[in-house]
Chain A
Amino acid sequence: MIRLENVTKSYSAEVVALRDAGFDIAKGEFVFLVGPSGSGKSTLLRMLNRQDRPERGAVWVAGRNIVDMPPSRVPHLRRNIGNIFQDYKLLLEKTVFENVAFAQEVIGRPKHVIKQQVPAVLELVGLAGKEDRLPHQLSGGEQQRVSVARAFVNRPLILLADEPTGNLDPATGEGIMRLLDRINKTGTTVVMATHDQRIVNTMRKRVIQLDRGVIVRDQARGVYE
């Protein structure tokens, strides 16, 4: 599903975000990207949805090298990738329903499909009955669930999560991880950047560790270390 080949990305001569990074992620895998701040986790995630491009190397997503993908094709690539962020990136003046529906609306899904799919995904993330609330009326965990619902509503092949539990207390974070695990079990590939040791050690999924832009460990059923 995802393949990186000798990917190098630097922001300046001194700041090298990724150096000759390479790995394969199979369809339906759950992978943790770990490492200290500035190790290149977020840069790597940005490469996978073409927010950023490497100077060298190839990034294959669903069988296509997306490095040289024409800009007009990028939106179609992104429709197959869900994104979850530490700060949720919810639209504050829109309700829970509207936030999730927005992801379908902007890619032209018809209204009757939106009306059918949004409540279903809100049910899945445990937010049924809170459709009309605004983000500020929700707890942090609930806001992150809205973010997960928005990322998953279009049934993407891949879900990219950048520190999704970073702003949450441990119990709430666990709830989000259970949710991501459930989504993973539907066949969606999940790549999650984190430095939450407890979660990584509990989940025992594949771990790719980065240090100053270099992959220093790639371990199946790994722990944080």
Chain B
Amino acid sequence: MLSRIRYTFRETFDSFRRNATLTLAAIITAAISLLGVGLTLLSQKGFDNLLSKWEGGVEMIIFVNAGATGDQLGVIETALGNADQFVDTFGYCDSQCSLDEAEVVLAGEPGTLELLTADNIPTQFKVVPTEGTDVELLRQLEGAFSELPNVFNVQFAEDQISLIGQLQDFFGFRLLLLSVFLLLAAVLLIWNTIRTAIFARRREIEVMKLVGATDWFIRIPFMLEGLLHGIIGGVLASGGLWAWNSQWTSGVAEFPDGSGFAALVVTDGYEKQVMLIMLVIGAAAGAIGSGIAASRFLDV
């Protein structure tokens, strides 16, 4: 068993050495395509962060001063309940909920985030309008709500928010499409690399078959080779993603507070999940490309 494992790894690394140029090309293509996938996921997360406070069809947010009493909150609730012609549902986001949200939205503005506490952060009523009620209709209610006691501010889902949503869809889809094409190219390149490796070693394979090596014994080093192409590509892409995210995070920190880019920073460990996803996709692409080649071209 040990000798087989030793043989498999020796053959795999010999093949890497013999096929260095193609191997490098396959790994770089895999790395670029996986980086594309990673950046797509990361940018989607950034957009999600940006839009997080407007999740669930929320079109209007009433910010209430910290320290508002239960009675004052009750007055706002009653006012919202009475506007059932325009308001479908509404929910209250207390100080802890608002702090959690701020951690996402203000991830790129650590200075501002530090100043916020449960005692000073405004709480929020998030309003989902009835179907058929657009923002302009809701705006007509702004005056009525902003005059209620302890209401700090009333915000509406601006056109910008819809624009961000559109941008998210536009870039997300196209980036993903590009990544899929690049990934396909990586699979094909790995497939071709393995095919070339098999062709280069056809004499050896012929001898192996004649002396009684099983097909799996012959296949496994080639499949391992492809798998390593994908995994190494994934590791390089993860490094690239980490570098990109670090640069982006430090870059956004330099922007003036309130620029709106703060939410596009991903700092909650999601980037590590993306790296893991890239490694898994890389391994799968490598295994698929080399598996097909090793099964298809072994009859040399």
Contact = CB atoms under 8 A, between A and B. Distances in A.
B211 A78 contact: yes
B213 A106 contact: yes
Chain A interface size range? 20 to 34
A106 B212 contact: yes
A19 B223 CA distance: 41
B207 interface: yes
Given A105-B3, A105-B7, A110-B3, A91 B210 contact: no
A15 B281 CA distance: 50
Interface string B215-248: 1011000000000000000000000000000000
Nearest to B204: A91
Contacts of A103: 207, 211
Give the residue among B3, B212, B213, B215 with the most A Cβ atoms within 10 A. Answer: B212
Interface in B191-225: 203-204, 206-215, 217-218
A26 interface: no
Contacts of A129: none
Nearest to A103: B211
B211 A79 contact: yes
Interface string A99-116: 000110111111100000
Nearest to B10: A105
A184 interface: no
A36 interface: no
A89 interface: yes
A126 interface: no
A89 to B, nearest CB: 6
Give the residue among A75, A78, A89, A102 with the most B Cβ atoms within 10 A. Answer: A75
B203 A75 contact: no
Given A105-B3, A105-B7, A111-B3, A75 B214 contact: yes
Nearest to A147: B207
Contacts of B213: 75, 106-107
B217 A106 contact: yes
Contact of B210 (A72, A78, A108, A111): A78
Contacts of A71: 215
Contact of A49 (B3, B207, B210, B215): B210
A79 B218 CA distance: 15
Interface in A132-188: 150, 154
B206 A106 contact: no
B4 interface: yes
Nearest to B208: A106
Contacts of A91: 203-204, 207
B1 to A, nearest CB: 8
A102 B4 contact: no
26 contacts: A49-B210, A51-B210, A71-B215, A72-B214, A75-B209, A75-B212, A76-B212, A78-B210, A78-B211, A78-B212, A79-B212, A83-B210, A83-B211, A89-B207, A91-B204, A102-B207, A102-B208, A102-B211, A106-B7, A106-B208, A106-B212, A106-B213, A107-B211, A111-B3, A150-B211, A154-B211
Given A89-B207, A91-B207, A107-B213, 8 more contacts: A71-B215, A72-B214, A78-B211, A79-B212, A91-B204, A107-B212, A108-B217, A110-B3
Interface of B: 3-4, 7, 203-204, 206-215, 217-218
10 closest pairs, A vs B, by CB? A79-B212, A106-B213, A78-B212, A103-B211, A75-B212, A75-B214, A106-B208, A83-B210, A107-B212, A111-B3
